[in-house]
A = this chain, B = another copy of it.
């Protein structure tokens, strides 16, 4: 699956330590071990790091079907501060139309607590390869 190769070659995700764990049609799971580089100025995991993890899971899920999909809108709600050593993002397809698709991504911590929830909308650029 070519498009998932592109996802795996994401330099920014690599740089900050986001890893793709699983990808199936319309579904993906990604993980980020929390390190000091992820923290903001008051010692919490930075919102941008959480967003990047979630958005990466969305990118993998939305490109899982052999069609090039680009993110056009993301809405993220931050719910609580994480505990433990890693964050897990799980992206699930909500809808997949002719040109527009929508996904929900849950970000949980090691205890399974919901840390953030994202709703993401993609534009399907190319037909199935």
- Chain A residues with CB under 8 Å of chain B are 5-13, 15-16, 36-42, 46-49, 51-53, 55-56, 59, 70-80, 94-95, 97, 99-100, 102, 104, 114, 117, 119, 121, 123
Contact = CB atoms under 8 A, between A and B. Distances in A.
B41 A6 contact: yes
Contacts of A114: 94-95
A76 B51 CA distance: 11
A58 to B, nearest CB: 9
Contact of A11 (B38, B76, B123): B38
Number of this chain's copies in the complex = 4
Nearest to A95: B79
Given A10-B41, A51-B52, A119 B121 contact: no
